[in-house]
Amino acid sequence: MRILTGKWKGEILWHLGQRTLRFGELRRSIPGITQHMLTAQLRDLEAHGLVKRTLYPEVPPRVEYQLTSSAHDLGPVFREIRNWSEKHAARLALTA
């Protein structure tokens, strides 16, 4: 579970689940995340085999991020968590 915990990992995985993104696109899609934090989180997700980083030898260099098949397999888990949170949203908001 450690590889999925953290403030930003779920959101990063969700955005990459929509499509392959370049670093700047991913950063713009997550308000509040710093460049340093996004880099650190992507490196961690890549080290654990959930994100694939592709570097294209162009000038300037182009880097794209996408989910691995292991990360895609987490889709049903995230859908169930979303369903649970929607079902209990009102009660959870009152206790927060």
Position 42 pLDDT exceeds 50:
yes
- Can you tell me the distance from the alpha carbon of 48 to that of 57, in angstroms, rounded to the nearest whole number? 24
- Confidence class for position 94, pLDDT limits 50, 70, 90: low
Give the chain as a 3 state SS string: CHHHCCCCHHHHHHHHHHCCEEHHHHHHHCCCCCHHHHHHHHHHHHHCCCEEEEEECCCCCEEEEEECHHHHCCHHHHHHHHHHHHHCHHHHHHHC
Does residue 20 carry a pLDDT above 80?
Answer: yes
Instruction: Tell whether the model's pLDDT for residue 88 goes beyond 90.
Output: no
Residue 40, pLDDT above cutoff 90: yes
| Domains of the chain by start residue, with CATH | 2-95 (1.10.10.10)
What share of the chain has pLDDT > 70, as a percent? Answer: 97
